[in-house]
Amino acid sequence: MYDDRLEIISLGELHFGLTPEALLHSHESKPWNPLIAQAFYRRGIIEAWGRGTLKIAKLMREAGLAPPVTTVRTGAVVVTFDVAAARKARGWPDDGDLGLGGDRENTWEGTKLGPSWGQVGTKSGLSQDQVQLIEAAENPKTLSQLMALSGRTNRTKFRDQVLRPLLDAGLLEMTIPDKPRSSRQQYRATPTGMQAVQIFRKESH
């Protein structure tokens, strides 16, 4: 989330010939996994297939706002909502008075995480150190093991400045999430984290 926009990033690409423009018009829905989609539909988790983007556009128009802009970056689909336009439409001050307090970004040694890591396809998303840490956690590691790998000695600073941003960004996860302080706690890379690493490696060559 930024002061002037909200970006929602989904790793992967539009499939089955869909284009960003097509998402705002009636289009055929072809889920990647029909069995999972059918299970969600039968459980009432999704209302219908292929209507999500149309519903978003409709609600935005009813609110007097332009629909979000969908773009395809290398290895990711990005949906951007214009917060600045929403401020103007509502008569809100253009000074960050949305409870954002400036760009909401987690940082680690000057490298942006959170919303900016989602700029998948750019080298600014992850640092080499972060990539190495995620790769190391492909097999679960303890906090002490990750600290040793990163050359850190201050446990509190490592947890707050290094580990927490990666967890918040969904790149790492706890093996015992319901007991964060467990002595048996370990951390492992998520599928999203490994995909982000692959994209970083691809862009670095």
Mean of the per-residue pLDDT values for the chain?
A: 78
Instruction: Please give the DSSP secondary-structure letter assigned to residue 141.
Output: B
CA dist 5 → 83, 102, 138, 165 (Å): 5, 11, 33, 21
pTM of the model: 0.44
Interatomic CA distance for residues 17 and 19, integer angstroms:
7
- Please check whether the two domains, 5-90 and 107-204, share a CATH topology: no
- Assign domain 107-204 to its CATH architecture: Orthogonal Bundle (1.10)
Q: Mean pLDDT, to the nearest integer, of 32-51?
A: 80
Report domain 5-90's class.
alpha beta
The pLDDT of residue 109 is above 50: no
Q: Are 187 and 146 in contact (CB under 8 A)?
A: yes
Domain ranges of the chain: 5-90, 107-204
The pLDDT of residue 139 is above 90: yes
